[in-house]
Amino acid sequence: MWVQIPPWVQMNKKLPLSFDKSLLSYVIGIALGDGNLSNPNGRATRLRVTCDLKYPKLINKIQRSIATLLPNNKVSIVTRQGNYVDISCYSNFWESALGWRVGKGSKIVQKVSVPNWVKKNTEFKINCLRGLIETDGSIYKDRGYKMMMFVNAARKLAYDVYEIIKSLKFEPHIYKVKNGRKSLVYRIRLSKDVERFLELIQPEKF
C-alpha cells in the first residue's frame, strides 16, 4: 500500500524513496528489536541489524525489505565472529523514521517505542509486531503446549508490544525479571491461541 509521505518525513528533502508505510512499519519492528544506530563516517546514519546465521531466510528478508524501502541506498551484509551477521544501510532517513538518535544513549535510555501512527492501524501493528517477534521473540513448548515469548529491556517498548497483542484480541501476560543486580528485562508471554497468533503475524523464523 503506497501512501502520502507524512510531514515528519517531508522535512528531509533528500529522501530517496517512494514511501511505503506498510513496509516501513515492518522495518521499524526489526530495528526496534535488533537494530542499532551509529554514524561512523560522520556523514550519514547507519542502521545495523544483527541476525543469527541459522536464519538465512530472515537475513534475506531483512535485506530485501530495507533495499525496497530505500532503493537508492546500498544494503550490505557482513559476517561476524560468533555465527551472526550485520545487515547495514546508511541513510539520514533513519533517525526521523525510527524515533531515536545517534549519540543520545541506548534504546533503553532513549525510551524507544512503537510510533503512534503504527499503533493506530491494524495492518501496520501486525507488520511491526512481525518484525519485533522475528528479532526478539521465541516460540517454544511448555508441558507440550506451544508458547510465544517476547523479551526486551526497554520498558516502553515492552508495554507497547503487550498492548498491541491485546488489541489484536489475544491475552498476553507481562513480567519484569531482574537481569543482573540493577537492570530489568520485560517478558511478554502468550500461552493461549498461539497457533492463531502465528497465523496472523506470520513471522519468518518459526
Of 13-22, 76-85, 106-115, the least confident? 13-22
Whole-number percent of the chain with pLDDT over 90: 80
Give the residue-averaged pLDDT of 14-22.
Answer: 65
Q: For the segment 95-110, what is each residue's pLDDT rounded down to a tens digit?
A: 999 999 999 999 999 9
Measured torsion, CA atoms of residues 151, 157, 158, 163, in degrees rounded to the nearest 10:
-140
pLDDT digits (tens, 9 = 90+) for 151-189: 999 999 999 999 999 999 999 999 999 877 668 899 999
Positive or negative torsion for Cα 175, 25, 63, 13:
negative
User: DSSP code of 44?
Assistant: S
- Asked whether the beta carbons of 151 and 187 are under 8 A apart, the reply is yes
Measured distance CA(58)–CA(51) in Å, rounded = 8
Q: Given 3.40.50.720, 3.10.28.10, 1.25.40.10, 3.30.230.70, which CATH number is that of 133-201?
A: 3.10.28.10
Fold of 7-117: Endonuclease I-creI (3.10.28)
Whether 7-117 shares its CATH topology with 133-201 is answered: yes
Largest separation between any pair of C-alpha atoms in the chain = 55
Confidence of residue 67 (pLDDT cuts 50, 70, 90): very high
Predicted pLDDT at 18? 52
pLDDT, position 42: 87
Name, in order, each residue with C-beta under 8 angstroms of 174's C-beta and a sequence gap of 6 or more.
Answer: 158, 159, 162, 186, 187, 188, 189
Q: Are 147 and 191 in contact, with CB atoms under 8 Å apart?
A: yes
pLDDT at 11 over 60: no
Model confidence, pTM: 0.88
Instruction: Considering only residues 130 and 12, tell me which one the structure prediction assigns the higher pLDDT.
Output: 130
Q: Domain map of the chain by residue range?
A: 7-117, 133-201
38 residue type, one letter: S
User: CA 105 to CA 2: how far, in whole Å?
Assistant: 33
